[in-house]
Amino acid sequence: MVATSTPNQAMPSVASQVQTRLKIKNAGTMDVSAACAGFLYGIVLAKGLIAAKTHKKILVIGADTLSKVTDFTDRRTCILFGDGAGAVIVEASDTTNHLFHALTGTDGFYGKDLCISNQEAPISGLPVIPNNKIQQNGKVVFKWAVQTLIENIRRLAAANNIELKDVDLMIPHSANIRILEAVCNELGFPIEKCLHSITMYGNTSAASIPIAWYNGLKDGKVKIGDKFLAIGFGGGLTYAGIYMENGIKQAAN
């Protein structure tokens, strides 16, 4: 399962090409198109498929090559984005359910404020530039992102019957450090317990959360038994969040 907004081809899917390269037999494949929230949509879908006992183990990848769709003449946006990829394996637990309640949502009215289009067809009823490049209304997206994260982090904590003070780590989508600072300030959550990848790699869309997660594991910030929230948000405008604890294993390399 590959979350991406920047495939090289519309068909075959990126997931199908990954399956071929890895020579994995007897596997279904699909791409997930939910922009910067795509990786967590993939996790939520994987959890559902495994809980339904139709699948046992699912490779979930978040990958985007935003340099392909960045307008380098637009200095308001081109300095923000980067390329990256990250992956996890989701599988059934023998002991405890480590992936708990999740949430997803969309506010399509704001679709025009963060989009990529190669056609003149309007988005949310308004025209867009058909240049196949990222177009972003930064002020609108910033305000929406801060409000959406604050509301849904609280919702996610309440759905899992936990207090934010008991959360060890939070991994939000790394879109903008000022967004993360504003959210942490409003929630009273320590910014040092907020993992991000923005300062090293920029906004890597669907890859930002797995990159931050991996760096947290590598640096010893993510430990077995930790309780943490992850929340993604982006084009659509979409969002998705999950709560996890225990059962986190780092690959050998």
Q: Which of 218, 211, 225 is nearest to 64 (CA)?
A: 211
What are 20's two structure tokens?
A: 């071929």
Give the length of the chain: 253
Selected catalytic residue, list 115, 152, 173, 184: 173
Round to whole Å and give the CA distance between 72 and 78: 5
Is 196 assigned a catalytic role? Answer: no
Q: Check: CB of residue 71 under 8 Å from CB of residue 217.
A: no
Q: Which of 115, 184, 196, 203 is catalytic?
A: 203
Query: Of 214, 206, 138, 218, whose CA–CA distance to 178 is shortest?
Result: 138
Number of alpha helices (DSSP H) and beta strands (DSSP E) in the chain: 6, 10
Please tell me whether residue 203 adopts helix, strand or coil conformation: strand
**Residue of 36, 115, 184, 194 marked catalytic:** 36
Q: Is 78 a residue of the active site?
A: no
Active site residue 203: yes
What positions carry a catalytic annotation? 36, 173, 203
